[in-house]
Amino acid sequence: MNKGVYGLPIGISFLFLVVAWFYLVIPELESIPSDYSYYEEQIGTNRLSEKIGGPLSEPFVHHNIHTLTLIDDLGENVVLESNLVATTDDGTKFLDERKTYEVNKKLRTNSVSHEGFFTFPPHTQKQDYFMTFPLAFTDALFSFDGVDVKHGVEVFRFNCISQPYDITNAIPKFENQPIFSYYTCTIWVEPITGKHIDFQLNWESYYEFDSKKILVEQGGKETTDEYVSILVSDVNRVKTSYIFYEQIMPLFFLFVSVFAFLIYFRTRSKGVEEVQKENIILSKNIEELHQIDKMKEEFLSMISHELKTPLTPITLLASALKDEKIMGKLSPKQFDAVDRILRSSKEIAQLIEDMFDAYKLDLKNITYVNDEFKISELLNEVTQSYEETCSQNGIKLINTAHETGKMIGDTKRIKQVLNNMLNNSIDFVPKIGGEIVINASLQNNSIVFSVRDNGIGISKENQERLFSKFYQVDTSVTRKHGGSGLGLTICHGLVTGMGGKIWVESDLGRGTTFYFSLPKNPNDVKN
C-alpha cells in the first residue's frame, strides 16, 4: 500500500491539533497558575507627621516589600493576598497594609468586591485599562502613554491617577483615625507577557477636618535596581516561553499538516513509479529531519529542565536571609550555608546562560554592539569584580595593563570572554601561592588581551581540543570543579564573531596563558 495515503489523516489530525492548541493549551498557559506567588522590593522617601495637624517630618528613606500569595483555588477564580510592609532604614515598621482579591484565572480580572483588571493581561494593547492593581491597593485608570525600551526590552508605559481611598489603621500611629490617600504612578509593561519590569508611585495621605484636608503623609517609591534586573530576567524567560508555545509550536503543527496534505495530493496525481522514487527521497529527508529534531529536542529538553528550576525564589529568599534588615541576623554557620545556596543558584543561572550562548553561536544568531571605550577602565572593572573571589581563595590577582588608549568593540562580550578565562584560571591555580595576571597590549592595529596563571598547565595534546564543545581536560582537578565544558567554546565563538583570534600557550606544571586579539577598530578591518 502506498504510504502517501496516510497524508490525509495525518494532515487532518495536525489541523485539529492546531485548533485545539489555540483553544485549550494557550489559554491555560496564559492563566494564573495554581502555585502563583510574587515578591518585589521597592525603595523611596517619605514624610510623615508625628500627629494629626503637625508638620511633616524631614524626608526619610523607606524600604518596601510587596508580596502576593495564593491562599485559595476556587476553580475559575483564585483568592490572592497582597501584603505591603514599609520600614525605615533602622527597621522600624510604619506601614503594614494587607488585602485579598478574588481574581479570574484566565481573564486576570477582579471578581466580587473589586473592579477591572488585577494585573495587565498577556498581549497588552496600546489602550487604557481600568484596574484594581495590587501594587497600588485601589482602583485607577491606567492610561497608555507611549513605548519605551528599558534594559533592552520594549515596554508600554502607562500612567495613573487614583481616586482617594481609605487607609485607616494602615499607619500604626494614626490607628482608628479616618485617613485617606491617593496616588499617581507610572508602570512599564512588557506587552507579550503583561508583566511589568519597573514601577514608580507617588502619594499623599490626609485627614479631613471641617471640610479641610490636613496632610499627614507625602512620599514616593520605585522598584529597586536589583529587582528591576530580576523582573527583566523573569520577563525574558516568560516571553521566550510564550513565543515558543504560542507561535513556534502552532506553526510547526501547521507545517506538518500542510506537508502531509501535499504528500497525499501529490501521491494521487503522480504515477506509482515516480511516487516511489519521491518517497525514497522524502524518507531520507524525513530521517535527516528526525535526527535534527532529536538533537533540538535533547537540547531544548535540557534547557527546559534548567529553566524550570525555581532560581528566582531561591535567589530572592537567600538574598533576603543574608540581609539583617529583612530576616534578622544569622549565625556564621547559617550565613555560610545561605551564601553557598546563593552562589549555587548563580552558578546554575550561569550554566543556563552558557547553554543559550552556545546555541545562539551555533545558529550565528548573536548580535554585537560596538562602542568606543577605554581599555584600562574595562580591565579595572573586570579585576575589581574578581578581587573578592580571588581573595577568598588565597589567589593573587594582578592587572599589569598599561594605558593602551581606546578601542571600539562590544564591552559586554569582551568582559564575558575575560570572565570565562578568569574562572578557568581560578579553578586550576594552587590554593596557596596562586597567581593570575591579566594584561592588554597594542600590537599593530590589534589589542591583545591575556590571562596568565601559575596553575597545573595543559598538555599539547589537550590544547588541540581545548576549544571544542563540552570538552574537559580529564584530570582530578577538572572533576572536582566540574563545569559545562562550554566556557572556552563560547570564548572561541565570541572572539571569532568579533573578528579576532584566540589561542593558548601552556606546559604541564608551568602554568597557562590564554590570549585573544581583537581589531582596535572593526570598521577599519571591514573597509
- Span 186-226, pLDDT tens digits: 999 999 999 999 999 999 999 988 888 899 999 999 999 99
Q: How many helices (H) and strands (E) does the chain have?
A: 14, 19
User: Which residues are within 8 A (CB) of 353 and not within 5 positions of it... i.e. 6 or more apart?
Assistant: none
Cell of 407: 578601542
Q: What is the pLDDT of residue 41?
A: 92
Side-chain-facing half-sphere of 484: CA atoms under 13 Å: 22
Q: Are 488 and 424 in contact (CB under 8 A)?
A: yes
Length of the chain: 527
User: Domain segments of the chain: what residues?
Assistant: 3-20+236-360, 37-223, 371-526
CA pair distance 507, 509, nearest whole angstrom: 6
Q: For position 274, what pLDDT does the model report? A: 65
Residues 6+ apart with CB under 8 A from 74: 102
Reported as a single tens digit per residue, the pLDDT across 67-103 is: 999 999 998 999 999 998 999 999 888 888 888 889 9
Rounded CA gap, 335 and 320, in Å?
Answer: 11
* Other C-beta atoms lying within 10 Å of the C-beta of residue 32: 19
Which amino acid would we find at residue 127?
A: Q
pLDDT, residue 481, reads: 47
135 Cβ neighbours under 8 A, 6+ residues apart: 40, 66, 185, 187, 199, 201
List all residues 6 or more positions away from 178 whose beta carbon is below 8 Å from its beta carbon: 166, 168, 207, 208
| DSSP result, 282-350 | HHHHHHHHHHHHHHHHHHHHHHHHHHHS-HHHHHHHHHHHH-HHHH-PPPHHHHHHHHHHHHHHHHHHH
What is the CATH number assigned to the segment(s) 371-526? 3.30.565.10
pTM, 2 dp: 0.48
Q: What is the pLDDT of residue 47?
A: 93
**pLDDT in the model for residue 480:** 46
Low-confidence ranges of the chain (pLDDT < 70): 1-7, 112-114, 136-137, 267-276, 289-290, 292-311, 343, 346-347, 349-352, 354, 356, 359, 363, 468-485, 525-527
Whether 207 and 167 have beta carbons less than 8 Å apart is answered as no
* Residue-wise DSSP of 88-157: ETT--EEEEEEEEEEEETTT-BEETT--SBSSPPSS--SS-EEEE-TTTSSEEEEEEEEEEEETTEEEEE
